Chain A
Amino acid sequence: MEKMAPTLHQKLGASPDSIVALIVRTDGDPVRYLPRLAELGFAVGHQFRLLPGVSVRGRARAALSLLDEAWVLRIEEDQPVAAM
């Protein structure tokens, strides 16, 4: 599976300084990657155990740099949901 959908890649590249909300799936327990995420300027929201990962907010530029991290399995937008 690709790490990031091409449409998201394009969106982040188009405005690298914008703040984005993301869900990052990690290789195993996300706790060990928190320092690296902080180093990249991300604010971490939820940490997920069943599907290892975190929700984060940070710059689009930093999100693109996550693609080079071996422990990052997938990055996607933290999309809105609504009552139906």
Chain B
Amino acid sequence: MAYKISPDLELRMRSAAATQPLRIIVRHREFPTFMSAAARALRAGEIAIRRQYRLVSATALEIPAAHLDTLIQDDTVEYIWPDLPVHTCLDVSVPRIRAPQVWNLGLRGEGIRIAILDTGIDPQHPDFAGRIAALTSFVGGDGSDDNGHGTHVAGIAAGSGAASNGRFRGVAPAASLYVAKVLDANGDGLMSNVMAGIEWAVTQEVHVINLSLGGDTPGDGTDALSTLCDQVVHQIGIVICVAAGNKGPAHSTIGAPGVARRVITVGAADDTDHVAQFSSRGPTLDGRLKPDIVFPGTGIVSARAANARVGRPIQPHYAELSGTSMATPHATGAVALLLQANPNLKPEDVKRALLGGALDLNEMPTAQGSGRGDVLAAYQRAMRLVPAQPGGANTENWWGSLRRALGNIG
């Protein structure tokens, strides 16, 4: 029997209860058909086909452990493996969006200030050493991450990968981080805390704000949080990337502030470049197209906080999480690279470059927006949109508008 079954599956089979479902992949001798007992079990619904492959003669099945023998004895079956879970490490998702090609141009986010408004950050994590420029909290405590979500998000946007010899490196690994804790240990908060965090980020002169959070009520963008986001983008000139939400695949499931007009609303793509089932869909309640774009967001391995309560630990310093929360910092990191490349870009230029460079996944616009983000293509567009003049006038205007808007802060 052992010749037909992988050793680790045999081990699982022995330790599993008879009724415990096992996920397996079966390679067939010729065509993907079953004989006798296995065929009967299939017809009886005791074995469920999860996927039939075309390029190889194989089938993914879910089967009670007790039925595995039936397959082993089936002459049409050549070999059986366990269908193991896979994850998209940053060393997969970051190359997929072609960030390393932009790194090779000397752009890693140096001088760009990224605000992460989330559950805080683990300030001791090696991947952020020397790059947390400011840390505060609007929900009590000192901003340290007691949940794990914020640290994971920060790692995707700007982790250096130091604890993994550079393997799990974020999109803009040299950017500075400005972190505000606006969500509690359960990952929950109030709109007003997020608004306070945004005003704080503005006073910190950040270039881009990451909001991997949102409400679960579909919106039209007129609420206070969405209105503030639009104002910060339009009047202050700060780019804001917002998670679309995880209420898909139903339509009109994007809440505030993902429904804000001027932000970049980010959905999630899976590791086969399809829009993730869970990714919230547009349109907004007032009929506007959202999300704007999708980025990788399933099974992402990134930095793990020492006190993490969420995520599947992969190594002591890393964990796996899925969600549009994970897709959003891919966009934020991409924005950081674009702004370093061309400081004269305004938020609408950045958005145009990102959306224009996106890879069309041939899915509904209300699911994929413009498509899956491609940092190299966005970079090429960003350099054509506005002439790049290092230290150009945009920075001056930006701080001037900030001072006018906030009066005597500073």
Residues in A lying within 8 Å of B, measured CB to CB: 1, 21, 23, 25, 45-46, 48-51, 53, 55, 74, 76, 78-84
Contacts and interface: CB of A to CB of B under 8 A. Distances in A.
B183 A81 contact: yes
B363 interface: no
Interface string B197-209: 0110010000000
B304 to A, nearest CB: 15
A46 B323 contact: no
A48 B192 CA distance: 9
Interface in B194-232: 194-196, 198-199, 202, 212-217, 222-225, 227-228, 231-232
Interface in B238-279: 243-246, 256
Contacts of A84: 212-214, 243-246, 323-325, 328
Contacts of B119: 83
Given A50-B406, A76-B223, A82 B189 contact: yes
| Main secondary structure on A side of the interface with B | strand
Given A81-B183, A83-B147, A84-B243, A46 B196 contact: yes
Contact of B224 (A45, A51, A82, A83): A51
Contacts, number: 103
Contacts of A78: 190-192
A84 to B, nearest CB: 4
Nearest to A22: B192
B256 A79 contact: yes
B192 A23 contact: yes
A52 B409 CA distance: 15
Contact of B187 (A1, A79, A83): A83
Interface string B107-120: 00000000000110
B146 to A, nearest CB: 12
10 contacts: A46-B195, A51-B231, A78-B190, A79-B190, A79-B217, A81-B183, A81-B215, A83-B183, A83-B325, A84-B324
Contacts of B215: 79-82
Given A79-B256, A82-B187, A82-B188, A48 B222 contact: no
Contact of B213 (A21, A23, A82): A82
Given A50-B228, A76-B224, 11 more contacts: A21-B190, A23-B192, A46-B138, A50-B231, A50-B406, A51-B195, A76-B223, A78-B191, A79-B217, A82-B213, A84-B245
A83 B405 contact: no
Contacts of B196: 46, 48, 55
B394 interface: no
Contacts of B118: 83
Contacts of A1: 222
Contact of A49 (B216, B325, B407): B407
